C-alpha cells in the first residue's frame, strides 16, 4: 500500500464537512497488470439533480524543498490516474488536492497556470489546519 500524504486526513475531513461521502480510502484501480491507488473516492448527491457526482482526489502536500519536483510528480500521477479512471470509471472526475498556501504562491506562477490549463488539471484547494475546502477549480 502506498504511503498516505501528510495532509490526507485533513482533506478527508474537509470533504466530510462539505457533505461528501467517502466511498474508498484508497480507491484501488487495476487495469490488466497495472495497479493504482488514488488517495480518496467520494460521492455527493445533489437533490436538485437527483443524480450522484463522483470524484477521486489525489492529495499532495508540496512540502519538499523543490516545489517544482513535487509538481512534476503530482502532475505525472494525476495524468496516469485520470487515464485509469477514463478506462475504468469514466463518470468519476479526478481532482488534485493542493494546500491553500501552495495554491496562492506556486500555483500563481505563469508556467504552472499554463500547465494546469493545458493538462486540464482540476484542483481542490484545501486549508490543512482548518480542514476545509477553500476552492474548487475546474
Which domains occur in the chain, in start order?
48-62+72-121+131-138 (3.40.1350.10)
Q: What string of DSSP letters covers 52-100?
A: EEEEEEEE----SS-HHHHHHHHHHHHHHHHHHHHHH-TTEEEEEEEEH
Q: How many CA atoms lie within 13 A of 120 on its CB side?
A: 5
Give the confidence band of 1 by pLDDT, cuts at 50, 70, 90: very low
Euclidean distance between CA atoms 11 and 115, whole angstroms: 23
Handedness of CA 16, 35, 7, 100 (dihedral sign): negative
Query: Is pLDDT of 46 > 80?
Result: no
73-114 pLDDT tens trace:
999 999 999 999 999 999 999 999 999 999 999 999 999 999
Amino acid at each position: 500500500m502506498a504511503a498516505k500524504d501528510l495532509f490526507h486526513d485533513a482533506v478527508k475531513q474537509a470533504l466530510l464537512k462539505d457533505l461528501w461521502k467517502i466511498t474508498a480510502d484508497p480507491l484501488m484501480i487495476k487495469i490488466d497488470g497495472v495497479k493504482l491507488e488514488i488517495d480518496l473516492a467520494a460521492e455527493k448527491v445533489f437533490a436538485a439533480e437527483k443524480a450522484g457526482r463522483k470524484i477521486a482526489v489525489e492529495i499532495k502536500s508540496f512540502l519538499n524543498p523543490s516545489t517544482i519536483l513535487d509538481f512534476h510528480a503530482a502532475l505525472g500521477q494525476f495524468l496516469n490516474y485520470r487515464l485509469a479512471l477514463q478506462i475504468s470509471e469514466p463518470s468519476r472526475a479526478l481532482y488534485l488536492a493542493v494546500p491553500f498556501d501552495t495554491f496562492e504562491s506556486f500555483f500563481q506562477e505563469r508556467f504552472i497556470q499554463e500547465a494546469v490549463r493545458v493538462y486540464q488539471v482540476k484542483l481542490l484547494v484545501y486549508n490543512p489546519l482548518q480542514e476545509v475546502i477553500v476552492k474548487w477549480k475546474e
